[in-house]
Amino acid sequence: MKVWKMNGAGNAFAIFDARSTPFAPTTEQVRAIAAELKADQVLALERDATKDAFMRIWNADGSEVSACGNGTRAVGHLLLQETGKDSVTIQTEADMLRAMRAGESVVTVDMGSPLLGWADIPLSEKMDVRGVDVKIGPMDKPYLARPAVVSMGNPHAVFFVDDVNAYDIPAIGPLVEWHPLFPEGTNVGFAQIIDRQTIRLRVWERGAGLTKACGTGACAALVCAARAGKTERAAKLILDGGELHIEWRESDDRVWMTGPVQMELETELPL
């Protein structure tokens, strides 16, 4: 089976071409693939009757998820190269997404509209999603509290911090990822506002850990920042592995993500 190893702003993927050969890995197999190929996510490219492809997504821990922004850009790049089109459609469990050519190895994806209702994220109880009741540290003096939450096809909690490097993210991330407020777990973003058009972001990804970049996390951070009046509705997101440009369009409520993709390896692997 053909396999591509790619990254989007440092976010690493192993992409299996399952359009002619079925690919249904077990949890243990996904974990082994991710470890062997040093991938944050394992993706399967499948046939779809009405779209250019269907994309299936597993995190490095073997859990299957519904959305992956940078993964969509990587798969979009493959399909754009393969078809010669300027725009392709990709179906996921979460939504139908559109990927567009934006330059040499640069892809834009229409990520759809953010989900802002507490039940849509989902939370285990009703509360204001602009700052939920999550605290890290002593109860009377927490050093992190009240993250904003949103779903970009997957749940995100975003803490606004003065310095992203001041926090032990591998220690804090798991505490928030499976906090009782998040019945399906959550991705955890640490967002430092540089100015109204720039955000420095690090993300603890649900099921993958601290990654060099997270596309849906970048979209979530921009949406939460714009809702709080901290930034404009378009900004540059600086992640550990590169930069993404995110725009939350007021005209149609949709979030557009643009950034680089890189091919690292193309090979054939036995099933």
Specify whether the CB–CB gap between 118 and 95 falls below 8 A.
no
The answer to whether position 56 is within a domain reads: yes
Q: What share of the chain is helix, strand, coil (3-state, %, to 5)?
A: 20, 40, 40
pLDDT given for residue 132 in this prediction: 98
Q: Same domain for 236 and 264?
A: no
Work out the end-to-end distance of the chain between its first and last CA atoms, rounded to an integer number of angstroms: 7
Q: CATH no. for residue 183?
A: 3.10.310.10
Catalytically annotated residues = 68, 214
* Mean pLDDT in consecutive groups of 10 residues from the start of the chain, 271 residues: 96 96 95 96 97 97 94 97 96 94 96 97 97 94 97 97 97 97 98 98 97 97 98 98 98 97 93 71
Tell me whether residue 117 is in a domain: no
Asked whether residue 122 is domain-assigned, the answer is no
Predicted structure pTM score: 0.94
Structural domain harbouring 51:
2-111+259-268
